[in-house]
Structures are given as structure tokens and as C-alpha cells.
């Protein structure tokens, strides 16, 4: 059978774009790609990139305060949200254009519309066009989830936070994951009065307990009111804002309410189940180690599979798929020891096992140091950073590293290389410290603080 395309990709985010480009440019495949919104997906348009730029913007008040403590005669003026938002949109447009041009240079045919599955080898576009493909790749990502609650139509999601007409004076953030915590810190830094409600016992579930407790303490010290064990019962628009009734028994009024309570895979209405693709309980596409679904001609990568929902992982999965199918290099994406960073203030960088997970697996030693860093100590601030290593008692390998500090994301990337290579605690000990630096603590901790 002759197909219109060797590969048709549904979704123009990081994973789909990488797969399409490699299949076309390196594998010589005829590739079509459909994207219904903007090229670049969540990361470029409404996630990592705009969020990190907002993190940068929100950090300047603290930098100005530090500068004064160091003797600089500087004053903090007003933040021009409208100017920043305009410049932000221009940057996203630039990146979107770059993504599109790279696809076109590789020879990918772009369809700016929604695509759904008609059968195992056929996609139907919203324009009415139909195309056949030998292989189909689902890379539609995920979307914010807002639970059923009275007044839920009043809630904003992370998608909305980059397009606000003006900054709210009082913001409620509902949720305790990294997206919720990052936005709480961003808007706190921009001068907004921020409150955070989370139904669990501590924010940042899934990260190391000591590290996430350290972050929570730092956020509260910066003025963010965190209420754990709290759920929203109802929201109502009033003359003064949005009145929120919660389980802690107090009604509070806010100018805006951000729900960051998780994300769900974008599989609704794609026709996946109709053609026999197996979906998981959360709607995710179930795939094997080579990203193949229960239908041999259909594959899926990225957040839509709900494996590790990080942009670099989606890119690795997309590249591995293209190498496997079009470059004669069977490749499985490696999901072990994936580093991550939470861009709170301070940042949390993490790779490998948490203390809690490691001690369930084998006997461990824990090396941990919390201290006031030189830069802010001199400025008279009470900031504290945390450096933590989890070590196997038997093999001496470093099983996990957790850093809470400014620029922790930069530090954890380098620590992850050593840990991925199988570095032992003695390898860390043999490494000469860079002094004076925060990261030198990673190679100077000689005695474990506890064993488990």
C-alpha cells in the first residue's frame, strides 16, 4: 500500500517536533505534522520558557535589596507588567518561528489544524482533509486539570498566567506541586500577596522530604502564606473579588485564584480508543519501551504517555522513536536518573532517589548540610541552603542528590552527570572543592548525619 506520509505526527510540542525533524532530516522520511494551536507546545508557549522568564523578572526586588546591603545606592521602582508581557509574547513568537522554520528546513509538511485518528493508518484534519501514513505518532501533551468545585469557572490555570491584563493584588494558588509552588514564588516576587492552599501535609510531594520542607520554610519566610491540609469547597464572585470557602473554616477574598492541581493527558476526542489504542486510567496512552502503543503503527511520546512529564524527556523519547523507526538504530529512551529542577525561590534541584525511597530499598547513609550562604549572609538575610547526598552502604554509590539553593538547577545538572556515571561517595570526597562556593559542600561532607 502506498501511503501519503511515512510518518504523521499529531502535536507540535517538544517531543513531536524532535521526532518529525529527525525522521525527515536524518531518516529521509516523508513527514507531516499537525498542530492546532501554536508550534512549540506547552514548554515554549505556556510552560517552561515563559515561566522561567517570569522567575527572572520576579527575582529583581531581592537583587536590589542585596545591592543596597553591598553599598549600592539603588532603589526599586514599579514593575511594568504590560511592558514585560509584551516583550514576553515577542520572545515566544520568535521561538515559535524558530521551531516552525527548523521543521520546514527538514522537509516536514506542517498542517496548522487539529488532527484525529480515523483508523490505524489514517488521520483526518479539521479542514476535512484525510492523509494516510505508515506510522502515526501521538505527541499531544497534557493540559491543566481543575477539579469539580462550586464556582470552578472563576479559576485560572497556568495557561492563563502569562496573559493577565494586570497583576492581582491578592492571589490564591491552589495546589502543592512544582507548578503551584513556582507560581506562588513568582507572584510573591512581583509584589503580589500570595496564599497557597494544598490538601496534603507538605508541598512538593514526591521530592525528598527534607528538601521540600526546606523550600516550604523559605517560601513562608518570604511572605507566602502556605496552608496545608486545606481544600477549597466553593468560590463565589463578590463586589470585592472572589470569595473562597475552604475546609479550614475561614472565608477569604482574593482578586484571582490559580488552580495548579495537576495535568491530564490530551487524549480526549482523538479517536484513539476507536482504533484500538489502549489508554490508562488517567487517559494516558499506554506504550512499551519503544513508545509503541497496542496498535503497531501508532506510537506516542511526551506527556500524553504520562511517564516522566518533563520537556527534555519528551525530546529524548521523540528522538529515540525516530532513530528506531527511520535510522535503523533501535533505541529506548532512558528514564533512569533523570534530573529535575523546581524554580521556586530558592530553587530545588534533584536527581536520583529521595531519602525515603532509598531507605525502603537498601541500607543507606545520609550526608546533609544546611547553612547560610556567604552572599546573603553578608547582606544580613536569613536565607539557608541545603546540600544532601544519599549513599548506598553496600556499593558506596551516590543514589541521590538534593540541593536547595539559588541556581540549584544549574548545580544539579552537573551533579547528575557524576551520579549517572555511577560515582561513589569516595569519588565525591576525592574531588577538590571550589572555594568559596555553595556547591563545595557536596565534596566536603565527611560524616553521615544518619543511617537508615
pLDDT digits (tens, 9 = 90+) for 4-25: 999 999 999 999 999 999 999 9
Q: Which of 272, 298, 326 is the last residue of a domain?
A: 326
Average pLDDT over every residue of 333-346: 97
Residue 58: pLDDT band by 50, 70, 90 thresholds? very high
pLDDT at 1 over 80: no
Residue 79: pLDDT band by 50, 70, 90 thresholds? very high
Domain that holds residue 303: 5-143+264-326
Say if residues 199 and 187 touch (Cβ distance below 8 Å): no
Residue 217, C-alpha cell as written in the block:
520554610
Say if residues 381 and 71 touch (Cβ distance below 8 Å): no
Q: What CA–CA distance (Å, rounded) separates 32 from 302?
A: 18
**In a domain? residue 40:** yes
Please report the pLDDT score of residue 408 as a whole number.
98
Please report the pLDDT score of residue 249 as a whole number.
85
User: To 10 degrees, what angle do helices 14-25 and 311-326 make?
Assistant: 30
Counting DSSP H helices and E strands in the chain, the numbers are 11, 22
Q: What CA–CA distance (Å, rounded) separates 197 from 190?
A: 19
Same domain, 185 and 248: yes
Please report the pLDDT score of residue 138 as a whole number.
98
pLDDT at 98 over 80: yes
3-state secondary structure of 236: strand
Q: Higher pLDDT residue, 436 or 250?
A: 436
Instruction: Summarize pLDDT for 178-192 with one digit per residue, the tens.
Output: 999 999 999 999 999
Alpha-carbon 251 to chain mean position: 31
Global confidence as pTM = 0.96
Instruction: Summarize pLDDT for 201-222 with one digit per residue, the tens.
Output: 999 999 999 999 999 999 999 9
Average pLDDT over every residue of 29-53: 95
Same domain, 268 and 257: no
**In a domain? residue 45:** yes
**In a domain? residue 179:** yes
CATH number at residue 443: 3.30.390.30
Residue 180, C-alpha cell as written in the block:
503551584
Say if residues 145 and 263 touch (Cβ distance below 8 Å): yes
pLDDT at 451 over 90: yes
% the chain with pLDDT above 70: 100
**In a domain? residue 338:** no
Average pLDDT over every residue of 313-339: 97
In DSSP notation, 113-139 reads S-EEEEETTEEEETTS-EEEEEEEEE-
Same domain, 322 and 398: no
At a CB cut-off of 8 Å and minimum separation 6, what does 373 contact?
383, 384, 385, 405, 406, 438
Say if residues 212 and 206 touch (Cβ distance below 8 Å): no
Same domain, 57 and 127: yes
Please report the pLDDT score of residue 248 as a whole number.
86
Say if residues 147 and 231 touch (Cβ distance below 8 Å): no
Same domain, 365 and 425: yes
Average pLDDT over every residue of 333-356: 98
**In a domain? residue 406:** yes
Burial of 79 (0-12, 13-18, 19+ CB in 10 A): middle
3-state secondary structure of 171: strand
At a CB cut-off of 8 Å and minimum separation 6, what does 172 contact?
195, 196, 197, 242, 244, 252, 254, 256, 257, 258
Same domain, 234 and 168: yes
Residue 7, C-alpha cell as written in the block:
510518518
At a CB cut-off of 8 Å and minimum separation 6, what does 115 contact?
8, 10, 34, 36, 123, 124, 125, 126
Same domain, 185 and 236: yes
Give me the helices (H) in 222-351, please.
Answer: 311-326
Mean pLDDT of the chain: 97
Residue 285: pLDDT band by 50, 70, 90 thresholds? very high
Residue 249 has phi, psi (to 5 degrees) of 90, 5
Same domain, 243 and 174: yes
pLDDT at 263 over 80: yes
| Strand partners of residue 279 | 285
Q: Which of 261, 279, 310 is the last residue of a domain?
A: 261
Question: What's the number of domains the chain is made of?
Answer: 3
**In a domain? residue 335:** no
Q: What CA–CA distance (Å, rounded) separates 41 from 414?
A: 27
pLDDT at 162 over 90: yes
**In a domain? residue 331:** no
At a CB cut-off of 8 Å and minimum separation 6, what does 248 contact?
227, 229, 230
Same domain, 209 and 311: no
Average pLDDT over every residue of 283-299: 98
Same domain, 57 and 23: yes
Please report the pLDDT score of residue 389 as a whole number.
98
**In a domain? residue 65:** yes
> What does the radius of gyration of the chain's CA atoms come to, in whole angstroms?
24
> Where is 65: in which H helix or E strand?
helix 48-69
Please report the pLDDT score of residue 434 as a whole number.
97
Average pLDDT over every residue of 137-144: 97
Q: What is the DSSP letter of 72?
A: -
Same domain, 269 and 256: no
Q: Which residues are catalytic?
A: 435
Please report the pLDDT score of residue 220 as a whole number.
98
Residue 55 has phi, psi (to 5 degrees) of -60, -45
Same domain, 270 and 256: no
CATH number at residue 52: 3.50.50.60
User: To 10 degrees, what angle do helices 178-189 and 209-221 make?
Assistant: 20
Amino acid at each position: 500500500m502506498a501511503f501519503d506520509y511515512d510518518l504523521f505526527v499529531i502535536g507540535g510540542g517538544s517531543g513531536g517536533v524532535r521526532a518529525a525533524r529527525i525522521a525527515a532530516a536524518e531518516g529521509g522520511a516523508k513527514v507531516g505534522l499537525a498542530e492546532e494551536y501554536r508550534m512549540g507546545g506547552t514548554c515554549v508557549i505556556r510552560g517552561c520558557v515563559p515561566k522561567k522568564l517570569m522567575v527572572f523578572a520576579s527575582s529583581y526586588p531581592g537583587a536590589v535589596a542585596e545591592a543596597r546591603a553591598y553599598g549600592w545606592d539603588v532603589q526599586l521602582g514599579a514593575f511594568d507588567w504590560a511592558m514585560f508581557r509584551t516583550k514576553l509574547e515577542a520572545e515566544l513568537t520568535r521561538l515559535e518561528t524558530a521551531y516552525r522554520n527548523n521543521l520546514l528546513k527538514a522537509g516536514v509538511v506542517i498542517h496548522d489544524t487539529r488532527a484525529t485518528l480515523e483508523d490505524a493508518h489514517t488521520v483526518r484534519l479539521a479542514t476535512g482533509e484525510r492523509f494516510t501514513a505508515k506510522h502515526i505518532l501521538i505527541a499531544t501533551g497534557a493540559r491543566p486539570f481543575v477539579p469539580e468545585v462550586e464556582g470552578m469557572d472563576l479559576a485560572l490555570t497556568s495557561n492563563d498566567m502569562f496573559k493577565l491584563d494586570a497583576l492581582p493584588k491578592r492571589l490564591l494558588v491552589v495546589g502543592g506541586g512544582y507548578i503551584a509552588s513556582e507560581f506562588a514564588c513568582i507572584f510573591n516576587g512581583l509584589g503580589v500577596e500570595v496564599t497557597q492552599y494544598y490538601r496534603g501535609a507538605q508541598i512538593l510531594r514526591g521530592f525528598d522530604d527534607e528538601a521540600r520542607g526546606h523550600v516550604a520554610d523559605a517560601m513562608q519566610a518570604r511572605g507566602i502564606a502556605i496552608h496545608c491540609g486545606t481544600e477549597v469547597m466553593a468560590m463565589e464572585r463578590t463586589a470585592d473579588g472572589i470569595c473562597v470557602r475552604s475546609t479550614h473554616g475561614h472565608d477569604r477574598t482574593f482578586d484571582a485564584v490559580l488552580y495548579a492541581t495537576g495535568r491530564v493527558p490530551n487524549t480526549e476526542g482523538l479517536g484513539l480508543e476507536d482504533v484500538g489504542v489502549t489508554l490508562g486510567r488517567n487517559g494516558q496512552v499506554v506504550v512499551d519501551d519503544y513508545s509503541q502503543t497496542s496498535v503497531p503503527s501508532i506510537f506516542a511520546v511526551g506527556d500524553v504517555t504520562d511517564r516522566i512529564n518533563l520537556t527534555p524527556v519528551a525530546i529524548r523519547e521523540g528522538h529515540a522513536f525516530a532513530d528506531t523507526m527511520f535510522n535503523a538504530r533501535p533505541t529506548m529512551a532512558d528514564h533512569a536518573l533523570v534530573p529535575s529542577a523546581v524554580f521556586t525561590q530558592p530553587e530545588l534541584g534533584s536527581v536520583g532517589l529521595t531519602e525515603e525511597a532509598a531507605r525502603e530499598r537498601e541500607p543507606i547513609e545520609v550526608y546533609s548540610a544546611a547553612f547560610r550562604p556567604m552572599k546573603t549572609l553578608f547582606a544580613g538575610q536569613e536565607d539557608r541552603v541545603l546540600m544532601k547526598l544519599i549513599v548506598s552502604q553496600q556499593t558506596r554509590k551516590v543514589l541521590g542528590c538534593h540541593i536547595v539553593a539559588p541556581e540549584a538547577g544549574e548545580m544539579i545538572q552537573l551533579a547528575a552527570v557524576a551520579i549517572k556515571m555511577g560515582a561513589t561517595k569516595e569519588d565525591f570526597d576525592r574531588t577538590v572543592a571550589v572555594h568559596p562556593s555553595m556547591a563545595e559542600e557536596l565534596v566536603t561532607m565527611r560524616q553521615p548525619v544518619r543511617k537508615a
